Chain A
Amino acid sequence: MTPALEIRSLRHVFGPTGVLHDLDLDVPAGSITAILGPSGCGKTTLLRLMAGFDRPTGGTIRLTGQLVTGNGHWVSPEKRNIGYVAQEGSLFPHLTVRRNLEFGLSRAERRDPRRVAELIAQVSLEPDHLKRFPHQLSGGQQQRVALARTLARRPAVVLLDEPFTALDTGLRATTREAVAAALRRVGMTTVLVTHDQGEALSFADQIAVMIGGRIAQIGQATEVYEAPVDLETARLIGDTVELAGTVSGDGRHAQTAVGPVVLRSDTPPGPATILLRPEQLKVRTGPGAWRVHSVEYFGHDYLMDVFSTRAGLSLKARAAGTVEYAPGQSADVVAAGLGTAFPLASSRS
Chain B
Amino acid sequence: MAYAAGLAIGLVGLLPILFVAEATVSVGWTQIGSFLLRDRIGQLLTNTAALVVTCVMGCVVLGLAAAWLVERTDLPGRRIWAAVLVAPLAVPAFVNSYAWSSQWPRFEGLPAATVITVLSYYPFVYLPVAGALRGLNGSLEECALTLGRNRLRCFFDVVIPQLRVPLLGGALLVGLHILAEFGALQMIGYETFTTAILVQYQSTFNGTAATMLSGVLLLCCLLLLSGEVAVRGRARYSPIGSGASRPAAPARLGLGRWPAVSAVALLLVLAVGVPVVGIARWWSHGSGLSPELGAALLNTLRLSAMGALATVVAALPVAWLAVRRRGPLSTAIERCAYLTSSLPGVVVALALVTASVRLLPAAYQTSALVLAGYVILFLPRALVCLRSVFGQIGPELDEVARTLGASSVKRFSRLTFPLIAPGLTAGVAFVFLAASTELTATLLLAPTGTVTLATQFWSHSDSLDYAAAAPYAATMIVLAAPLTYLLLHQSRVVRGR
Contact = CB atoms under 8 A, between A and B. Distances in A.
Interface of A: 51-53, 76-84, 86, 89-90, 92-94, 103-104, 146, 149-150, 153, 155, 159
B399 A51 contact: yes
B404 A90 contact: no
B413 to A, nearest CB: 12
B185 to A, nearest CB: 46
Given A78-B404, A78-B406, 14 more contacts: A53-B399, A76-B402, A77-B403, A78-B402, A82-B403, A84-B403, A89-B396, A103-B404, A103-B406, A104-B406, A146-B400, A150-B403, A153-B404, A159-B403
B399 A92 contact: no
B411 to A, nearest CB: 9
24 contacts: A51-B399, A51-B403, A52-B402, A53-B399, A77-B399, A77-B402, A77-B403, A78-B405, A84-B400, A84-B403, A86-B396, A86-B399, A89-B396, A93-B392, A94-B418, A103-B401, A103-B404, A103-B406, A103-B414, A104-B404, A104-B406, A153-B405, A155-B403, A159-B403
B403 A83 contact: yes
Interface string B375-406: 00000000000000000101011011111111
A188 to B, nearest CB: 14
Given A89-B394, A93-B392, A103-B414, A84 B405 contact: no
Contacts of B394: 89
Nearest to B393: A93
A89 B406 CA distance: 18
A301 B230 CA distance: 56
Contacts of A89: 394, 396
Contacts of B84: none
Contacts of A94: 418-419
**Nearest 8 CB-CB pairs, A to B?**
A104-B404, A77-B402, A84-B403, A78-B402, A90-B400, A86-B396, A78-B405, A94-B418
Contacts of B397: 90, 92
Contacts of A78: 401-407
Nearest to A88: B396
A84 B405 CA distance: 11
A214 B85 CA distance: 61
Contacts of B396: 86, 89-90
Given A89-B394, A94-B418, A94-B419, A84 B406 contact: no
B415 interface: yes
A90 B397 CA distance: 6
Interface in B402-435: 402-407, 414-415, 418-419
B406 A93 contact: no
Nearest to B402: A77
B419 A104 contact: no
Nearest to A87: B396
Contacts of A53: 399, 402
A104 B405 contact: yes
Nearest to B418: A94
A258 B396 CA distance: 52
Contacts of B402: 52-53, 76-78
Contacts of B403: 51, 77-78, 80, 82-84, 150, 155, 159
Contacts of B401: 78, 92, 103
Contacts of A149: 404
B417 to A, nearest CB: 10
Contacts of A84: 399-400, 403
Nearest to A79: B405
A83 B404 CA distance: 7
B390 to A, nearest CB: 13
A171 to B, nearest CB: 15
Contacts of B399: 51, 53, 77, 84, 86
A339 to B, nearest CB: 41
A23 to B, nearest CB: 21
Nearest to A82: B403
B35 to A, nearest CB: 52
Interface string B300-340: 00000000000000000000000000000000000000000
Nearest to A48: B399
